[in-house]
Amino acid sequence: MKQVIIAILVIVTIVSLIVISFTVNQVAQEEVRLKSDMQYRSTLLADSLKETVEPNFINKSDANLQNIVNRFEDRERLAGIAIYDNKGNTTAVSSTIPQDITQSQKIAADAMDADKTTGDFISLQNSKYYVLAIPLHDDKSVVGALTIVQNAGYIDARLYEIWRNNLLRLLIQASLISFAMVLLLRWIIYVPIKSLVESLQSARAGQQTSKNLTNSLLFKPLINEVSNIRRSLFEARSQASEEARMRLEELESPWTAERLKESLKDILKGRTLFMVSNREPYIHTKNNGKISYFLPASGPVTAIEPVMRSCGGVWIAHGSGNADKLVVNRKDKIQVPPEEPKYTLRRIWLSEKEEQGYYYGFSNEGIWPLCHIAHNRPTFRKEDWEEYVKVNQKFADAVLSEIKNEEKPIVLVQDFQLALAPRMIKSQRPGALVGIFWHIPWPNPESFSICPWKKEILDGMLGADLIGFQTQLYCNNFIETVGRELESLIDFERFTITKNNHVSYIKPFPISIAFPNGFDQSENENDRSDKEKLLKSLNVKTRYIGLGIERLDYTKGILERLKAIEIFLDRFPAYCGNFTFIQIAAPSRTKIKKYQDFAKEVENEVERINSLFKSKNWKPVVFLKKHHNHKEIQIFYKLADFMLVTSLHDGMNLVAKEFVASRYDEKGVLILSQFTGAARELKKALIVNPYNGEQTADAIKEALEMKPSEQTKRMRNMREVIKNYNVYRWSAELLKSIINLG
């Protein structure tokens, strides 16, 4: 639409310039014609009156002169006549001539001095006049002047009329041209193009459509080509589906989006999947009147979104964008992804009080530090708990409204913000299959016991048929916690908990990423150019580059990492000026004071280390405190010599896996905290204790000096691990486990 408006504006501008140019020329010619006509008529009148006026003037017949003058009053365009003697005195004058006649007298004086007819246009009392003076003679000399004063205002009125009429015609022409252009572009260009786009979108989405392509002679060659492309896409998709079906029984073959889609046809058997999470996969924002969207960088969304693209369904989440309400329908739904819809996003709206208590308060100041044993005291407030219960019920009600017409719905609840929702859903729909996946660690029973509402949280989670954790250790911790806090029957052989005759299965499902999809390409010229541009923009010219990427969160070990870099540079000064560490830290939970204080502490530590080691054109740490999209992050992954992940406690840490997946060159080194879930899978990383700065510093040195062959050996092993257990396999196993319970 923007291009159409620009095209219309260009055409209208060109037409306007042409019309204005012609109008300027027409007005100039008309002005010359009208003035010449007035001068001619005034001269004729003056010449005819001179024969009568001159004898009377010589004979000093003032009465006769006044009578002559009076006869020419009240004429349509004649303002009047005046007669002056050679001393500038008025002999006779029409009463209709303006009182301020100074300029008229001057013109008469000029005519007598030059002894010739003189005329000029003057303005008197906001009116325009033409004054013509002709000298009067006796036998010897000039004795006076006859002055004709004509109303010239009609000339400007005529010129204004020309402008008005031409501009009115221009407005009508511009409207007709715009209307014709819109119709032309819509029916001849827009409609055929839209048909082609919809056809390609349906083919790309794997949808058969009976709608024929538009019949347009203008686009006939393109239509034929699109038809061939669409046919090829269907054939390729059919072939891929067939291959995926053949691989379903091949356990060693890699899981892909297509294989998951085929697998889910057998697993779901036509049933709809309902995903529930606090964070939404697409956030719409409005800036400068324009609506755009972005994908949040949080781990759960990064992992789950590819699954929903493959299996479809409904995702229920909190609408947090300032333009989220502007793009949903009356049922608060929108089809996503926007460019190629695959599933439905249902948004939940929270008040500021609800968000503050449920999300920032109880979830992130209470449960988050409670589960991440990182030496930060959790804060529990009754008012936060009340909002947490209220919002969990709001999510549960939304789920219940979505599944009311489903016979055996499948509901998968995500993470610690919605611990109460499984029980709320199950109590109203006992036949629904409900699962909850806990993305963060589950602490030991002693740590969890300090939560004032521990029994309610455990009971809420036990409403689920399947409770998934990242590792077996977290499963064990959860079962031990339930054994201490609730009256229940625990079966350690089957790993189940029975409460009120309801059985909940507890299983580990280490989450992963969408690999190899999007990570299996080779480096090209664009990649090298992107790296060079990025390093230039950051003014990084060193040989060695380290990388850290995470949210600005105290559990990620950012301060411990910076201390390790200080120790490294202090112990190995040869790397000073030759090594740069790039730390990307996306602002997180900025409304919580603990996070605000932590952000300032990190910034101060970066400044201190840079001040300690920096030289004229080098500083050891480049700190980027802002959000980056996935495409930007990929460039950072590819240029780093090593990735430093020093989480003090982490359920999995998908950033570590994304770094490995992005290194299709099989180079680079991953330094990984032993306190991450990923450390149990990526055993070829350099595993460190993040609290031991000296050990981490040694690992940095080892990474920078590791032989390329050793890097390849380690990276190839880790890539194979992620390839064999990616997010598609994770979701297939999770959903299969839930379905088998029904």
Residue 335's identity, in one-letter code, is Q
Q: What average pLDDT does this structure show over 193-219?
A: 62
pLDDT band of 426, cuts 50, 70, 90: very high
pLDDT of 515 strictly over 60: yes
CB of 42 within 8 A of CB of 121?
A: no
Q: Rounded distance, CA 97 to CA 93, Å?
A: 7
Contact 548, 602 (CB under 8 A): no
Q: Which residue has the higher pLDDT, 7 or 431?
A: 431
At 237, the pLDDT band (50, 70, 90 cuts) reads low
pLDDT > 90 fraction of the chain, expressed in percent and rounded: 54
Please tell me the least confidently modeled range out of 53-62, 70-79, 83-92, 411-420: 70-79
Measured CA to CA, the distance from residue 412 to residue 437 in angstroms comes to 7
To 10 degrees, the CA torsion angle through 732, 735, 736, 742? -170
Q: How far apart are CA 237 and CA 255, in angstroms?
A: 16
* CA 346 to the chain's CA centroid: 20
pLDDT in tens, 323-332: 999 999 999 9
Give the pairing type, strands 433-437 and 466-469. parallel
Q: 10 Å Cβ neighbour count for 97?
A: 22
Under the banding of pLDDT at 50, 70 and 90, the label for residue 569 is: very high
| C-alpha dist (Å) from residue 511 to 302, 314, 452, 623, 681 | 11, 21, 30, 29, 11
Separation between Cα atoms, residue 590 and residue 596, nearest integer Å: 6
Do the Cβ atoms of 517 and 256 come closer than 8 Å?
Answer: yes
Question: Torsions phi, psi of 420, nearest 5?
Answer: -90, -20
How large is the average pLDDT for residues 704-733? 94
Is residue 421 over pLDDT 70? Answer: yes
Each residue's pLDDT tens digit, 311-325: 889 999 999 999 999
Tell me the C-alpha distance between 216 and 224, whole Å: 11
pLDDT higher than threshold 80 for residue 493: yes
DSSP result, 201-212: HHHHTT----PP
- pLDDT the model gives residue 521: 57
DSSP state, residue 526: H
- The per-residue pLDDT of the chain, averaged, comes to 88
Nearest to 465 by CA among 424, 501, 436, 429: 436
Residue with tokens 């549960």: 396
- pLDDT per residue over 278-311, tens digit each? 999 999 999 888 999 888 766 678 788 888 988 8
Contact 507, 479 (CB under 8 A): no
147-193 pLDDT, tens digit per residue, is 988 888 888 888 889 999 988 988 888 888 888 877 777 776 767 77
Query: Is residue 347 within 8 Å of residue 317, measured between CB atoms?
Result: yes
Token reading at 510: 């280490």
CA angle 271, 274, 279 (to 5 degrees): 160
State whether residue 446 is helix, strand or coil: helix
For residue 248, what are its two tokens? 């379903």
Q: pLDDT tens, 378-413? A: 999 999 999 999 999 999 999 999 999 998 899 999
Q: Residues 6 or more apart from 363 whose CB is under 8 A from it?
A: 278, 388, 416, 417
Q: What is the mean pLDDT of residues 614-643?
A: 91
Q: What predicted TM-score, i.e. pTM, was given to this entire model?
A: 0.70
Under DSSP, the state recorded for 415 is S
Q: Nearest CA to 111 among 142, 80, 66?
A: 142
Question: How many other CB atoms are there within 10 angstroms of residue 122's CB atom?
Answer: 19
For residue 260 the two structure tokens come to: 């998951």
Residue 432: helix, strand or coil by DSSP?
coil
* Full DSSP string of 362-392: IIIIIIHHHHS-SS------HHHHHHHHHHH
Where is pLDDT greater, at 609 or 339? Answer: 609
What are the distances in angstroms from CA 181 to CA 171, 176, 189, 190, 363?
15, 8, 11, 11, 56
Domains belonging to the chain, first-starting first, are 2-157 (3.30.450.20), 260-350+392-513 (3.40.50.2000), 525-725 (3.40.50.2000)
Report the 10 Å Cβ neighbour count for 692: 15
523 token code pair: 């480096």
| 440 DSSP assignment | S
**pLDDT at residue 523, rounded to an integer:** 58
Instruction: Write down the pLDDT at residue 125.
Output: 73
DSSP assigned state of 254: P
259 pLDDT higher than 50:
yes
- Give the tokens for residue 57: 């003037």
What integer pLDDT is reported at residue 110 of this predicted model?
86
Give me the half-sphere count of Cα atoms (radius 13 Å) on the Cβ side of residue 147: 35
Distance CA 399, CA 448 (A): 28
Quick one: residue 95, left, alpha or beta (phi over 0 = left, psi -120 to 50 = alpha)?
alpha
Return d(Cα 281, Cα 304) in angstroms, integer: 9
CA angle at 602 for the pair 597 and 603, rounded to the nearest 5°: 100
Determine contact, residues 200/230, Cβ cutoff 8 Å: yes
pLDDT > 90? residue 211: no
Q: Which of 632, 605, 606, 629 is nearest to 619 (CA)?
A: 606
Give the pLDDT band (50/70/90) at residue 456. very high
Q: What is the pLDDT, as a whole number, of residue 298?
A: 62
Instruction: Categorise residue 270: left if φ over 0, alpha if ψ from -120 to 50, beta otherwise.
Output: left
Q: What does the pLDDT read at residue 210?
A: 45
CA distances in angstroms from 524 to 516, 533, 628, 643, 644, listed in the order given:
18, 15, 22, 22, 26
**DSSP state letter for 441:** -
Largest CA-CA distance found in the chain, in angstroms, rounded: 144
714 vs 45, which has greater pLDDT?
714
pLDDT at 648 over 50: yes
Q: What is the DSSP string of 530-589?
A: HHHHHHHHTT---SEEEEEEEES-GGG-HHHHHHHHHHHHHH-GGGTTTEEEEEEEE---
Judge if the upstream peptide bond of residue 337 is cis by omega within 30 degrees of 0: yes
> For 315-327, what is the HEC assignment?
EEEECCCCCHHHH
Q: Which helix (H) or strand (E) holds 722?
A: helix 708-724
- What six digits make up the tokens of 281? 């996969």
Q: Is pLDDT larger for residue 244 or for residue 598?
A: 598
Position 522 scores a pLDDT of 57
pLDDT, average across residues 344-350: 97
Give CB contacts under 8 A, 24+ apart, made by 694-697: 694/564, 694/567, 694/571, 696/560, 696/561, 696/564, 696/567, 696/568, 696/644, 696/646, 696/671, 697/564, 697/565, 697/567, 697/568, 697/571, 697/572
Among residues of the chain, what percentage have pLDDT more than 70? 89
650-695 pLDDT, tens digit each = 999 999 999 999 999 999 999 999 999 999 999 999 999 999 999 9
Among 115-119, 180-184, 253-257, 668-672, the range of highest mean pLDDT: 668-672
